[in-house]
Amino acid sequence: MYGFEAMTFNIHGGYLEAIVRGHRSGLLTAADYNNLCQCETLDDIKMHLSATEYGPYLQNEPSPLHTTTIVEKCTLKLVDEYKHMLCQATEPMSTFLEYITYGHMIDNVVLIVTGTLHERDVQELLEKCHPLGMFDSIATLAVAQNMRELYRLVLVDTPLAPYFSECITSEDLDDMNIEIMRNTLYKAYLEDFYRFCQKLGGATAEIMSDLLAFEADRRAVNITINSIGTELTREDRRKLYSSFGLLYPYGHEELAICEDIDQVRGVMEKYPPYQPIFSKLSYGESQMLDKAFYEEEVKRLCLSFEQQFHYGVFFAYMRLREQEIRNLMWISECVAQNQKSRVHDSVVFIF
């Protein structure tokens, strides 16, 4: 029923959309960031944040603060908001909201598996996991020795199970194939999410396909850049690209054969939406690419709030908050290590 969301959307989604838009107005503004960037100590940051929505989460922290505490508490707020929304949601919105967390689940799985590979303590690893991507049996991941076991023991019970079909091998786990697993999973996840949004139809499909296409393209570029100079073959690299997005399929063919960053740039500059991102970078530079992509993403996410009656706002809100937490982490890290000159390097203003 494209175009008729306005008639029925509010029956189930109205309350939550109001909630999420309310949450959005609590995002830190450029003025907040300016003030935060001027902070001298972490206590100053806490003091400033106590005037924002993060106040109640930080107020009971004893004074010698650490960056991790700040980030942890801010994430806790996001998780609380997410759980509240999930509790209130009905189908299909609840499935949509769950889809948002799968990305974190993949990251957590990879984190634990790599961690155990390097013989780290499981408890320590669990603390590092993103709380949105937790599932019951996550701690048991440490038991698995290879992909097949990983799947058979643990992941078969999780929502990630269907994404695993492509990467079940009996090889022992090592850094390389864990990374390949992460990307294969992510590819399958994005494609699945994309299909799900298409199935929902209407404004949700329209907006989410745009956002997810951007995500897929960004991943494609990152995979290409990261795999330059590794033993990953072109064919394998080609397999990791998601089968949608602006670059699909011709861009992918070209990306698959790139040998250095400037070739990637050449490929990407053929696509008008990505031209401004690359035009900001000088040749041979890949450090600032992340920030440029983040900025573009934030811009797109903010735009999704311009339209009403779709689920994209939930995705956008979660992503924006995560970006905000990344910003806070960077600022606090800079403040804590007395590197204030670098504060602006990685902070992406949301408004």
Partner 1 sequence: MGEGGSPSTMDLMRSEPMQLARIIIPMESSHRTISYLGDLGLFQFKDLNTGKSPFQRTFAAQIKRCGEMARKLRFFRDQMMKAGLFVSSWPSYGSEIGLDELEGKLGELEAELVEMNANTEKLQCAYNELLEYKLVLQKAGEFFHHAQSNATSQQREYGDRLLEGSMDSPLLLEQEMTTDISKQVKLGFVSGLVPRDKSVAFERILFRATRGNVFLKQDVVQQAVCDPVLGDKVEKNVFVVFYSGERAKNKVLKICDAFGANRYPFTDDIGKRHQMITEVSGKLSELKTTIDVGVLHWSTVVQSIANQYDQWNSLVKKEKSIYHTLNTLSFDVTKKCLVAEGWCPVFATSQIQKVLQKATVDSNSQVGAILEILHSKESPPTYFRTNKFTSAFQEIVDAYGVAKYREANPGLYTIVTFPFLFAVMFGDWGHGICLFLATLFLIIREKKYSSQKLGDIMEMAFGGRYVIIMMSIFSIYTGFIYNEFFSMPFELFGRSAYDCRDPSCEDATTIGMIKVRDTYPFGVDPIWHGTRSELPFLNSLKMKMSILLGVAQMNLGIILSYYNAKFFKNDINIWYQFVPQMIFLNSLFGYLSLLIIVKWCTGSQADLYHILIYMFLSPMDDLGDNQLFWGQKYLQILLLLSALVAVPWMLIPKPLLLKKQHEERHQGQTYAPLHGLDENIENERDYESHGGHEEFEFSEVLVHQLIHTIEFVLGSVSNTASYLRLWALSLAHSELSSVFYEKVLVLSWGFNSVVILIIGIIVFVFATVGVLLVMETLSAFLHALRLHWVEFQNKFYEGDGYKFDPFSFALVAEEDD
Q: Which of 63, 170, 282, 287 binds partner 1 (CB under 8 A)?
A: 63
Site string for partner 1, 93-132 (x = CB under 8 A): -----------------------------x----------
d(CA 205, CA 200): 6
Q: With DSSP H G I counted as helix, E B as strand and the rest as coil, what are the percentages for the chain, rounded to 5? A: 70, 0, 30
Q: In the 8-state DSSP scheme, what is residue 173?
A: P
The reply on whether position 53 binds partner 1 by CB under 8 A is: no
List the one residue out of 216, 219, 194, 218 whose CA is nearest residue 207: 194
The reply on whether position 59 binds partner 1 by CB under 8 A is: yes
d(CA 124, CA 130): 13
Taking CB under 8 A as the binding criterion, the range among 71-79, 138-146, 216-224, 246-254 that sits at the site for partner 1 is: 138-146
The reply on whether position 157 binds partner 1 by CB under 8 A is: yes
Taking CB under 8 A as the binding criterion, the range among 140-148, 198-206, 280-288, 322-330 that sits at the site for partner 1 is: 140-148
Taking CB under 8 A as the binding criterion, the range among 19-27, 37-45, 178-186, 296-304 that sits at the site for partner 1 is: 37-45
Count of chain residues binding partner 1 (CB under 8 A): 28
Token duo for residue 300: 């797109």
- At position 174, the amino acid (one-letter code) is D
Strand partners, 146: 172
The reply on whether position 44 binds partner 1 by CB under 8 A is: yes
The reply on whether position 153 binds partner 1 by CB under 8 A is: yes
The reply on whether position 61 binds partner 1 by CB under 8 A is: yes
The reply on whether position 181 binds partner 1 by CB under 8 A is: no
The reply on whether position 142 binds partner 1 by CB under 8 A is: yes
- Complex with partner 1: residue 8 or 137, whichever CB lies closer: 137
Residue 243 belongs to what H/E stretch? none
The reply on whether position 62 binds partner 1 by CB under 8 A is: yes
Count the alpha carbons within 13 Å of 93 in the hemisphere toward its beta carbon.
Answer: 24
CA-based Rg of the chain, rounded to a whole angstrom?
21
The reply on whether position 172 binds partner 1 by CB under 8 A is: no
Which stretches of 201-307 are DSSP H helices? Answer: 202-227, 234-240, 250-256, 261-268, 275-279, 289-304
Cα distances (Å, whole numbers) of residue 1 to 5, 24, 192, 204, 350: 7, 27, 22, 11, 33
Taking CB under 8 A as the binding criterion, the range among 148-156, 184-192, 202-210, 290-298 that sits at the site for partner 1 is: 148-156
Rounded to an integer, what is the distance from CA 38 to the centroid of its chain?
28
- Complex with partner 1: residue 44 or 210, whichever CB lies closer: 44
Which spans of this chain sit near partner 1 (rule: CB under 8 A)? Answer: 35, 38-40, 43-44, 47-48, 50-51, 59-63, 122, 136-137, 139-143, 149, 152-154, 157
